[in-house]
Amino acid sequence: MSSTFCPNIFFVLYVYVSLMLEVDLFFCWFSSSTQFSSLGSQFNHMAQWVQDDNRTGIYYETWTVRSDPAPNSTVWFESYDCSQFVHRAYRKLKELGAKLSSRSPTYYTKIYLYSGEPTYLGNDSAIFGTPALQNLAADIRKFYFTFRPHQSFVDFAFSLLEAYKKIVLDKTFYLYYNFEYWHLPMKYPYMQIVYEEVPLFLKNRWLENLY
């Protein structure tokens, strides 16, 4: 990646985020379930699990936040996205005795943000309910307004500029994670979109123990 900022990344990001919002977890669930040879009588069990997982899981989280792109960098926040959901679903199905039949590798688009150590800002009610924090609350609202789906071309172009100003020039990203807000001091290369394999079938012992 060159050191000049590439707006295409934001374009791809916008398309991606819009898609995510619309496709939702249902498709993740649907595509994973089609890879099983049989669900049989476990189906009701599984349907219940999906609901429980939905209730207890943390807020759907698209971003993975790391200190830098190096493989040994610190991961500040793990994403809680489609790939994670599919992994939990597989684990549950194995528990219920389902036979896994797919051998094809599973690829997911992941979005990485690069930042220094995050600072905790507070939860929803603290930030939006405390008069002393109203400037922060307004700033966060404005930040998320630039990420709204279904924008006209003009709004979209304007939002791109706003996002660029905030993330690259102000080096600020407000991360919403599990109903709480964090400030990320962003740093180069700020953001990357990577299409990578997240293996479902256990290739090493470490994962084996998890399942």
Ligand X SMILES: *[C@@H]1O[C@H](CO)[C@@H](O)[C@H](O)[C@H]1NC(C)=O
* Binding window for ligand X (CB under 6 A); candidates: 4-12, 47-55, 80-88, 90-98: 47-55
Shortest distance in whole angstroms from residue 136 CB to ligand X: 14
Alpha-carbon distances, residue 22 vs 10, 37, 93, 206 (angstroms): 18, 28, 26, 34
Which residue, 137 or 167, has its beta carbon nearer to ligand X? 137
* Binding window for ligand X (CB under 6 A); candidates: 87-95, 100-108, 119-127, 197-205: 119-127
Looking at residues 50 to 109 of the shown chain, list those that interact with ligand X (rule: CB under 6 A). 50-51, 54, 70, 72
Which residue, 4 or 125, has its beta carbon nearer to ligand X? 125
**Residues 58, 100, 126, 157: which binds ligand X (CB under 6 A)?**
126
Q: How far apart are CA 74 and CA 79, in angstroms?
A: 14
Shortest distance in whole angstroms from residue 51 CB to ligand X: 4
* Binding window for ligand X (CB under 6 A); candidates: 90-98, 118-126, 139-147, 203-211: 118-126
Residues near ligand X, by CB under 6 A: 50-51, 54, 70, 72, 123, 125-126
